[in-house]
Amino acid sequence: MTTSSQAYQAKNYDRLLGTAGFSDQLLKNHFTLYGGYVTNTNKVSDILLGMVREGKQANPEFAELKRRFGWEFNGMRLHEMYFDNLTKGGAAIDTGSGLAHKINEAFGDFATWEKDFRGTGAMRGIGWTILVHDQHAGKLFNTWVNEHDMGHLAGTTPLLVLDVFEHAFMIDYGLKRADYIEAFVKAIDWKMVQSRFK
């Protein structure tokens, strides 16, 4: 079993309350949902460890929980990255930064990157839109992650994370996902995104 020092703790994102384009009700609901991922990551981890200690790792239940762990853990981490790359009022990208240069190299210019990112986020379905960096080849991609545990590009580093599950926008925007993406883009903290680019 994990000790309290080993257990994951939900981060406090109250600093985002009052962000333009995001109602406090939407954000508070989203924070609660994120807290559930943290709780379940700890819970599933504890159950799996207990099963191993009891010699039950060959059971189908162990296999299903092992698969479920990826869902809970990635749900926790992706929400943290999503909230971390938001700020009230946004923070513009430093056009002289290495990340801006890489975006221009990969997409031709920032406007083309943004069209691709918005277009990826507006696709039908639930999931995540993520700007990732393939450090092995030095490339950037806007990718779609369907569910938390499916679609990650192995070996890439997430730089900018957009949650496009309905819980992230339906209270404020209904079916108008493009309007939500517009609000998201205005609230991006590019300093945080740039700090993820190594």
Residue with tokens 């926790």: 76
Is 78 within a domain? yes
How does pLDDT run across 96-123, given as a tens digit for each residue?
999 999 999 999 999 999 999 999 999 9
Cβ density class 119-134: b for 16+ within 10 Å, e for less: ebbeeeeebbbbbbbe
Residues 59 and 140 placed together within one structural domain of the fold: no
pTM: 0.92
Domain at 176, CATH number: 3.55.40.20
Is 13 within a domain? no
How does pLDDT run across 117-165, given as a tens digit for each residue?
999 999 999 999 999 999 999 999 999 998 887 778 888 999 999 999 9
How does pLDDT run across 45-93, given as a tens digit for each residue?
999 999 999 999 999 999 999 999 999 999 999 999 999 999 999 999 9
Question: How far apart are alpha carbons 108 and 101 in whole angstroms?
Answer: 10
Residues 106 and 167 placed together within one structural domain of the fold: yes
Of 84, 114, 136, which one is at a domain's C-terminal end?
84
Question: How far apart are alpha carbons 76 and 82 in whole angstroms?
Answer: 10
Residues 62 and 35 placed together within one structural domain of the fold: yes
Q: Is the pLDDT of residue 1 over 60?
A: no
Residues 45 and 69 placed together within one structural domain of the fold: yes
Spell out the SS3 assignment of the chain: CCCCCCCCCCCCCHHHCCCCCCCHHHHHHHHHHHHHHHHHHHHHHHHHHHHHHCCCCCCHHHHHHHHHHHHHHHHHHHHHHHHHCECCCCECCCCCCHHHHHHHHHHCCHHHHHHHHHHHHCCCCCCEEEEEEECCCCEEEEEEECCCCCCCCCCEEEEEEEECCHHHCHHHHCCCHHHHHHHHHHCEEHHHHHHHCC
pLDDT of 150: 78
Is 8 within a domain? no
Is 108 within a domain? yes
Q: Is the pLDDT of residue 20 over 90?
A: yes
Residues 66 and 139 placed together within one structural domain of the fold: no
Residues 103 and 79 placed together within one structural domain of the fold: no
* Percent of the chain topping pLDDT 90: 91
Residues 117 and 188 placed together within one structural domain of the fold: yes
Is 135 within a domain? yes
- Using CA atoms, how far residue 57 sits from 65, 66, 70, 131, in Å, is 10, 10, 17, 36
Of 44, 59, 84, which one is at a domain's C-terminal end?
84
Tally the domains of the chain: 2
Question: How far apart are alpha carbons 78 and 56 in whole angstroms?
Answer: 30
Domain carrying residue 140: 98-196
